[in-house]
DNA sequence: TATAGGGCCTGTACTTACTACAGGTTCAAG
DNA sequence: CTTGAACCTGTAGTAAGTACAGGCCCTATA
């Protein structure tokens, strides 16, 4: 049940772990709706904002871009999204994560090999530096 | 041997695969030295520039930040670097790559699990969306 | 009720590593 | 000599925030 508690920006920040400036940023780019204000102009958030911000942060933690988050929110806001649409977006993202992992593993392997060539001695001749000067292709 | 050929920015770009604007950018931030100019003011690069740009690009491909590249170049330019210094920087970077891979694998697993929960049907109830609204701690 | 000091307000600037113009000049091939 | 590609400069844009400065508000305590 929504108890009518009103949260300041600082409280929302603490509850979600989201940086206080980032909350304002999300509002500016239209991810978080403008909340009502106090007489003095302070933002007063409700449970809905909290829920939405948790959603955004969770998406970000999972590596979704803000545009992808926006797409999710549009589906949810539209009210008539389907499971299929959501799954498509998610699988797409999963694919790109997998590609990034593959890229990083190649980097890892190359760096490990380069390091292994180098004895870390005190001479000013280094196989790592040599390798970096190599045109590869 | 350095044949005294002079390269335009466009040629350097083509030879290295580095975007033509990026070359100017590297010059601006002090990674690439200012080349001599033609009478009309066009940049004329020599073999040294080519070599250095290849080095920078190779570092970038391997995921080093521009500041790390700058550090490498400072060592090389200083002339009296040691293998040990280079190896330390490289192992540091390797470590951070490994951490990133671990992070990404966690994301991958979570996303795969979430997707598996979802049958992709046409109903407007989606376990992925539900999961994204969950506060996890 | 007065006040102190923390929290909030706004706008703007900075970050990384580029990329993309606009508007003008130079170069080189034919 | 012409013409069109390539180059020149400065500036602005990208993602996703983060970090101020300078000023106002809010509330707990005396």
Which of B75, B83, B119, B121 should be substituted to probe chain A, the one whose Cβ sees the most A Cβ atoms within 10 Å?
A: B83
Do B133 and B88 belong to one domain? yes
Q: Do A89 and A130 belong to one domain?
A: yes
Q: Is A104 on the interface with B (CB under 8 A)?
A: yes
How confident is the model at residue B136, as a pLDDT? 64
Q: Does some domain include residue A77?
A: no
A136: part of which helix (H) or strand (E)? none
Write out pLDDT tens, residues A70-113: 999 999 998 888 899 999 999 999 999 999 999 999 999 999 99
Q: Express each pLDDT in A7-16 by its tens digit.
A: 999 999 999 9
Q: Are B110 and B117 in contact (CB under 8 A)?
A: no
Query: Running DSSP on this structure, what letter comes out for residue A129?
Result: H
Could you list the residue range(s) of the whole structural domain that residue B57 is in? 1-63
Determine the distance between A124 (CA) and D10 (C1') in angstroms. Answer: 41
Q: Is B38 exposed, middle or buried (0-12, 13-18, 19+ CB in 10 A)?
A: exposed
| pLDDT of amino acid B135 | 74
pLDDT category of residue B1 using cuts at 50, 70 and 90: very low
Position A33 in a domain: yes
Alpha-carbon distance B87 to A121, whole Å?
A: 9
Closest partner residue to A86 among B63, B88, B129, by Cβ?
Answer: B129
Give me chain B's average pLDDT, please: 92
Do A86 and B119 lie within an 8 Å CB cutoff?
no
What's the confidence (pLDDT) of residue B128? 93
Q: Please check whether residues A4 and A59 belong to one and the same domain.
A: yes
For residue A36, what is the domain's CATH number? 1.10.1660.10
Q: Which residues pair with B62 in a beta bridge?
A: none
Contact residues for A40 (Cβ-Cβ < 8 A; gap 6+): none
Is the domain of B11 the same as that of B54?
yes
Q: What is the predicted pLDDT for the residue at A4? A: 66
Shared-domain flag, residues A43 and A90: no
Q: What are the residues whose beta carbons fall under 8 Å from the beta carbon of B89, sequence distance 6 or more?
A: B68, B71, B72
CA–CA separation, B72 vs B127, rounded Å? 48
Of B63, B91, B112, the domain-final residue: B63
| Model confidence pLDDT, tens digit, residues B49-106 | 999 999 999 999 999 999 999 999 999 998 888 899 999 999 999 999 999 999 999 9
Tell which residue, B58, B26, B55, B57, has the closest CA to residue B43.
Answer: B26
C17 C1' – B67 CA distance, angstroms?
Answer: 11
Overall number of domains in chain B: 2
pLDDT tens-digit map of B12-39 = 999 999 999 999 999 999 999 999 999 9
pLDDT at position A75 is 93
For residue B19, count other CB atoms closer than 10 A to its CB.
10
| DSSP letter assigned to residue A62 | T
Q: Are residues A18 and A51 in the same domain?
A: yes
Is residue A30 included in any domain, yes or no? Answer: yes
Same domain? For A4 and A53 the reply is yes
- Contact map slice: B 55-74 vs A, CB within 8 A: 55, 58-59, 62-63, 72
- Tell me: do A2 and A51 sit in the same domain: yes
For strand C, give the nucleotides within 7 A of a protein CB: 7-11, 16-21, 25-27
Cβ–Cβ < 8 Å for B76, B59: no
CA dist., res. B122 & res. B115, Å (int): 15
Residue-level pLDDT at A1 = 38
Q: What DSSP designation does A42 have?
A: -
Encode pLDDT of A117-135 as tens digits: 988 877 778 899 999 998 7
Query: pLDDT at position A2, please?
Result: 41
Which sign does the torsion angle of CA B102, B104, B110, B112 carry? negative
């Amino acid at each position: 049940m929504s108890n009518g508690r009103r949260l300041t920006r600082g409280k929302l920040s603490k509850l979600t772990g989201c940086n206080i400036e980032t909350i304002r940023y999300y509002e500016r780019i239209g991810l978080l709706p403008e909340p009502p204000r106090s007489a003095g102009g302070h933002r007063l958030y409700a449970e809905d904002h909290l829920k939405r911000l948790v959603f955004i942060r969770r998406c970000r933690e999972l590596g979704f871009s803000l545009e992808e988050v926006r797409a999710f929110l549009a589906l949810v806001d539209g009210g008539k999204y389907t499971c299929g649409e959501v799954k498509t977006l998610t699988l797409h993202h999963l694919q790109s994560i997998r590609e990034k992992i593959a890229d990083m593993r190649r980097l890892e392997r190359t760096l490990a090999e380069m390091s292994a060539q180098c004895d870390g001695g005190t001479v000013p001749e280094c196989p790592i530096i040599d390798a970096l000067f190599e045109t590869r292709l």
